[in-house]
Amino acid sequence: MTQSTHPFDEALALQPLGEAAQGRWSGVASPAYWNMVGPYGGITAATALQGLMQHPHLLGEPVACTFNYPAALNEAPFELSLRPVRTTRTTQHWTLEMIQPDAQGERGVVLTGTVLTGKRRDTWGQIDHAMPVVPAPESVSQEPRIAGVEWINRYEFRTLEGAVPPAWNGQGEHSRSRGWMRDRPPRVMDFPSLLAMADFFYPRVWLRRGLRLPAGTVTMTVYFHADADELRTIGDDYLLGQAQAQVFHKGFFDQTAQLWSRSGQLLATSQQVMYFKD
Amino acid sequence: MTQSTHPFDEALALQPLGEAAQGRWSGVASPAYWNMVGPYGGITAATALQGLMQHPHLLGEPVACTFNYPAALNEAPFELSLRPVRTTRTTQHWTLEMIQPDAQGERGVVLTGTVLTGKRRDTWGQIDHAMPVVPAPESVSQEPRIAGVEWINRYEFRTLEGAVPPAWNGQGEHSRSRGWMRDRPPRVMDFPSLLAMADFFYPRVWLRRGLRLPAGTVTMTVYFHADADELRTIGDDYLLGQAQAQVFHKGFFDQTAQLWSRSGQLLATSQQVMYFKD
């Protein structure tokens, strides 16, 4: 299998609408990454970032991005538009939007976002949130799949802590999951795949409450702490991922996440808000 | 002093440009919250949120917001525009932008942002990031001001840990600050003031490296975990604030933050990216 036929790359395929510099693209959500309702949010974000990285006016590399999910995407073609709002010598600020017709044919916004790109420079560096000491991925077994959700089959997850509860008995003690993860089949790391992985973790409320309640991401922010060369060097090796909630309050909760390389580089940090119903 | 003359409320004053439903406002950055270059980022974000909260189509209350800072604001009037992108039964997604002429009279974007508002409902709740056990604010002394930065005089900060280093000797051991904080003079808590306080913490690189390096916020995300009634109940009491970096990498670093009420409610969680030069 060559990289160009990897399901992740197929999912990110975009067709330009007009000149590339106009930042308008057309695409279709991939059934390979389908979630319960609409595609996996991580793949939608990665697709938007992919469009940005193909923009001829791009300065530097992705540093930070926020995506908001006003509505689930459907199977119809969507339109992605990207705008470089302001460019300085070292940074560039972008806004983006995805629009799609609903079942009645009415066009609506299904994704909004902002992205900061910038030129990284060699400076002093320090990791203050160190990777926990855990067994190597080769010695950890893979977590069984959740039946009926297609996108989960696109990832391998070797759980160290906080697996999806085997029974929904209303018992939960904490909200933290940890495990080794990678694309399935393996794929060389880049910014879109790192972004998609930051959204990997299932709703913390399921773990904390021991109940499979309706829940979904409404907004997600991801910060990248690696450059393209560092990501390439990781190749298709596992990342250690960790997610944890800080607070559940009146229908919403947060999830923080960290993704480290096997060598301990903290590649990405993230937070998101999910709604939940009980 | 009545609440209407509090410097925070004066700083947030906006004049409508046209009908309120158009979501266009004019304002001027307050010298009372001036930072080294331009106004304090927290007050700019709070001003944008204030505009949103005056919008006649607002659904619910703020849940999450992201602000990006492409350029420092100057003393000229700015224009704020807010757009409700999509409204569901329980949530509403907004995009916003602030535009201002530069010294040469050329208009440019100085703030972009997205905000999620929503209706909170009584549900099960849980705080997983508990407030640390610390002395009451009355028994902690106030941290001395940094000379020459006006906005810091608008806050009281009683430092428990991680004060601004008294000497810049290149020695640092951690990146965490903790302390009790409130408006100065005291002011009853609301969403804009909570948002502004989430940006209170000085650059973590100063603490971690023990060097006062050039640094500034480029993007900030704040999640609110309280409703308007809960904030009102806090009155003008102190909040416990905590900030910590996870990673410093090639010219950028992150800051996570938590703000608790004295009774231990986790009111807001935040993360931001700052650039730094060394």
User: Mutate which of A107, A131, A244, A250 to test chain B, going by most B C-beta atoms within 10 A?
Assistant: A250
Whether A209 has its CB under 8 Å from any CB of chain B: the answer is: yes
How far, rounded to the nearest angstrom, does the alpha carbon of residue A217 sit from its chain's CA centroid?
Answer: 11
Task: Go through B107-133 and write b for each residue having 16 or more CB atoms within 10 A of its CB, e for each that does not.
Answer: eebbbbbbbbbbbbeebeebbbbebee
CB A67 within 8 A of CB A45: yes
CA distances from A158 to A135, A142, A155, A277 (A): 11, 4, 10, 29
Q: Between these two residues, B146 and B31, which has the higher pLDDT value?
A: B31
Nearest CA among B145, B225, B239, B138 for reference residue B188: B239
Q: Is the ipTM, as predicted for this complex, more than 0.90?
A: yes
Residue B140 to residue B159: CA distance in whole angstroms = 7
pLDDT digits (tens, 9 = 90+) for A22-75: 999 999 999 999 998 899 999 999 999 999 999 999 999 999 999 999 999 999
Half-sphere exposure in the Cβ direction for A57 (13 Å, CA):
17
Structure tokens, A276: 């939940």
- pTM exceeds 0.90 for this model: yes
Which chain B residues are within 8 Å of A209, Cβ to Cβ? 124
Residue A162 to residue A165: CA distance in whole angstroms = 8
Average pLDDT over residues B236-261: 98
Structure tokens, B161: 């840990």
**What is the percent of chain B with per-residue pLDDT over 90, rounded to a whole number?**
92
Q: Read off φ and ψ for residue B44, nearest 5 degrees.
A: -65, -45
Whether B209 has its CB under 8 Å from any CB of chain A: the answer is: yes
Q: Min CA distance, A119 vs chain B (Å)?
A: 9
Nearest CA among A270, A267, A189, A273 for reference residue A232: A189
CA distances from A199 to A17, A151, B103 (A): 28, 12, 42
pLDDT digits (tens, 9 = 90+) for A191-200: 999 999 999 9
CB B201 within 8 A of CB B146: no
Mean pLDDT of chain A: 96
Which chain A residues are within 8 Å of B175, Cβ to Cβ? 128
Which chain A residues are within 8 Å of B78, Cβ to Cβ? none
Dihedral of CA atoms B127, B132, B136, B139 in degrees, nearest 10, equals -160
Phi-psi region of A105 (alpha: psi -120 to 50; beta: other; left: phi over 0): left
Query: How does DSSP classify residue A175?
Result: -
CB B50 within 8 A of CB B192: yes
CB A102 within 8 A of CB A52: no
Residue in the structure block whose two tokens are 């409610």: B265
Which ranges constitute the DSSP H helices of B122-227?
191-198, 204-209
What is the distance between the terminal CA atoms of chain A, rounded to a whole angstrom? 44
Ranges of chain A with pLDDT below 50? 1
Q: Min CA distance, B118 vs chain A (Å)?
A: 10
Whether B131 has its CB under 8 Å from any CB of chain A: the answer is: no
pLDDT digits (tens, 9 = 90+) for B146-168: 667 999 999 999 999 999 998 99
Nearest neighbour of B223 by CB, restricted to A88, A127, A254? A254
